[in-house]
Amino acid sequence: MTDTTLTQRDHDTTFRLQDQYLRGDVAGTVRTSRLFRTRYPRAATTTRLGPERSSTIATNLAPVLQHAQPPAVLPQANESCWCGSGRKYKRCHKPLEGRVLPGIVSPTLEVPAHIARPPYADTGRVERWAESRVKSPEIIERMRHAGAMAAEVLRLAGEMVAPGVTTDEIDRYVHQLTIDRGAYPSPLHYNGFPKSVCTSVNEVICHGIPDSRALVDGDIVNLDVTVYVDGVHGDTNATFFVGDVDPASRHLVQVTEECTWYGIEAVVPGRPLSDIGRAIESHAKKHRYGVVKAFIGHGIGEQFHTDVQVLHYYDPRANMIMRPGMTFTIEPMISMGTWQHKMAFDDGWTAVTADGKRTAQFEHTCLVTDDGVEVLTAPGAVSPCAPWRR
């Protein structure tokens, strides 16, 4: 891309595209993005809606939004926008302050041939089979190994989080860490997911696709790492601070981590799974936070997701009884505002809070024992024990 000068028409079209994007008008965003084909021919390869082109919106929108960077000191609401459009700041770029915008998604990374793959790795199609909810001692031992490995990869990836680092760079690092350990990065090709880790920034609830967007001082970012090794999966995630983060976001992350451990402590054999959601929701409500309902914890083992469903809010219908040998994840997503979500970027994956407020998440893979719970992703984890007991 060689031309970095925007004409007035470009400004008008950019404004319209941004407005459509903020309103969730996916079809309108696609139509508007077509206008950039002649000026930015590398930005898009197709504009046809469909699941096979998961990153079209990102590749259309990112070059436009990256044309100009905001100054260190932003204008007042009624002053002219910094981008040179001639519009008032409040009518141009102000609505985008603090919002996560898509970047360019790089090609999918390859996995060496000697790495054992899960069944979906080659086709992207997930075919479920009946898997025992209660694992054998042999499978549990393998899951301990996978959980510890996932925790180690997450911890090392978290050390890379800093202003200026792109989520794509984090993905490359996670990918390399995983294959160096003889494991397969479970998210890769799962139902077509194009990357080896999920990176969810600020208002992105989950399943954020790594791209060219650089992390900014003040962001919070969740890294969701899963590895497949010895025929089983280990799944964990944590939310990290990027540089100097405001107190409200710090408090959100702290409470979310506490919610996770309250949920873990509710794992008791003979009790219903609804106890977990009750414990999480109760603590979140004390701080007037929302608990995202659309995405839940899941059974895990030889399959990435099994039929065990772990709600992070209380629902008496979640009455499956916890039994020793069961393995599942607890991964509450807690938001500053509403629990409701919407899908963003038209990639089929990225979920954001409906009100645009920030959200955080932590996750552990848990094993129900005879007298309580064993956290399989605790060894070497970012938070190895309940935070208030450190």
- For 240, phi then psi, to 5°, come to -115, 150
Contacts of 204 (CB under 8 A, 6+ apart): 100, 222, 344, 350, 351, 352, 359
Q: Give the pLDDT band (50/70/90) at residue 11.
A: very low
| Residue 225 confidence (pLDDT) | 98
Q: Give the pLDDT band (50/70/90) at residue 69.
A: low
Q: Which secondary structure element, helix H or strand E, spans residue 264, and what is its range?
A: helix 247-265
Q: How many residues can be counted in the chain?
A: 390
Contacts of 380 (CB under 8 A, 6+ apart): 148, 151, 152, 155
| Residue 79 confidence (pLDDT) | 87
What does DSSP assign to residue 235? Answer: E
> Can you read off the two tokens belonging to residue 153?
């990869």
Return mean pLDDT, the chain. 83
Q: CB of 326 within 8 A of CB of 339?
A: no
Beta bridge partners of 368: 373
Beta bridge partners of 360: 334
219 or 41: which carries more pLDDT confidence? Answer: 219
Residue 345 amino acid letter: F
DSSP-assigned letters across all residues of 93-153 = TGGGTT-----PPPPPPP--TTS---TTTTT---------SBPPHHHHHHHHHHHHHHHHH
- Which pTM value belongs to this model? 0.78
Residue 161 has pLDDT above 60, yes or no: yes
Rounded Cα distance between 76 and 62, Å, is 25
Which of 10-24, 193-207, 331-345 has the largest mean confidence? 193-207
| Residue 93 confidence (pLDDT) | 73
Rounded Cα distance between 202 and 195, Å, is 19
Cβ atoms < 10 Å from Cβ of 51: 9
Contacts of 306 (CB under 8 A, 6+ apart): 128, 131, 133, 298, 299, 300, 328
Domains in the chain, please, with CATH? 8-96 (no CATH), 137-389 (3.90.230.10)
Q: Is 354 exposed, middle or buried (0-12, 13-18, 19+ CB in 10 A)?
A: middle
The pLDDT tens digits for 367-382 are: 999 999 999 998 766 6
* Segment 143-164 mean pLDDT: 96
Residue 55 has pLDDT above 90, yes or no: no
- For 245, phi then psi, to 5°, come to -105, 140
> Can you read off the two tokens belonging to residue 15?
């404004």
Beta bridge partners of 364: 330
The pLDDT tens digits for 300-317 are: 999 999 999 999 999 999
Measure CA 125 to chain center. Answer: 21
Secondary structure class of 58 (helix, strand, coil): helix
Secondary structure class of 336 (helix, strand, coil): coil
Q: CB of 152 within 8 A of CB of 380?
A: yes
| Residue 61 confidence (pLDDT) | 46
Question: Closest by alpha carbon to 362, among 225, 231, 249?
Answer: 225
* Segment 178-194 mean pLDDT: 97
Residue 65 amino acid letter: L
| Residue 19 confidence (pLDDT) | 52
| Residue 50 confidence (pLDDT) | 38
| Residue 103 confidence (pLDDT) | 84
| Residue 371 confidence (pLDDT) | 92
